[in-house]
Every structure is written in C-alpha cells, then in structure tokens.
Amino acid sequence: MKNPGLAAVLSFFYAGLGQIYNGQIGKGIAFIISYFVSILLMIVLIGFITTPVLWIWGMVDAYKSAERINREQMKEQ
C-alpha cells in the first residue's frame, strides 16, 4: 500500500519524487527533468509560470496516483 500523503510530501520537496515513491519511475524522471527545465526557463520569465504549475501538478498527481494504486491493489485481493 502506498501512502498518498507521503507521496504528496515527497513531491512537495521536489517534483517527481512522489511518483518515484509510487513506483512510476518513468513519470517521476519526466517530472524531474521538466521541473529542472522549468527552473532554467526562469531566465526568460516563462519559468515563473511553469515552475509553480509543475510543482503543484506533481503533488496532486502523486497523491491521486497513490490512491489509485491502493484501490487497484484492494480489488486484486
């Protein structure tokens, strides 16, 4: 079972960590790379919009993914 709160907190500290905790390695790496690129885009100002959006999206996605994983595991049992 995955802890949705822990997944969200991990993504709070850095986008993608919650997805990796959930076992979604590819998605987590994509979030990490996207977040890094977004931080670099702060040089041209667009990053000030994309970085918070990715950060919040990462937390919400990690939480909802953990809940979905738990529901699927409960159905299998």
Q: What is the pLDDT of residues 1-35, one digit of tens each?
A: 999 999 999 999 999 999 999 999 999 999 999 99
Cα–Cα distances in angstroms (integers) from residue 52 to residues 23, 39, 46, in the given order: 24, 10, 11
Contact status, residue 25 vs residue 16, Cβ threshold 8 Å: no
The domains of the chain are located at: 4-72
Q: What confidence score (pLDDT) does residue 77 get?
A: 79
pTM over 0.85: yes
Query: Is residue 58 scored above 90 in pLDDT?
Result: yes
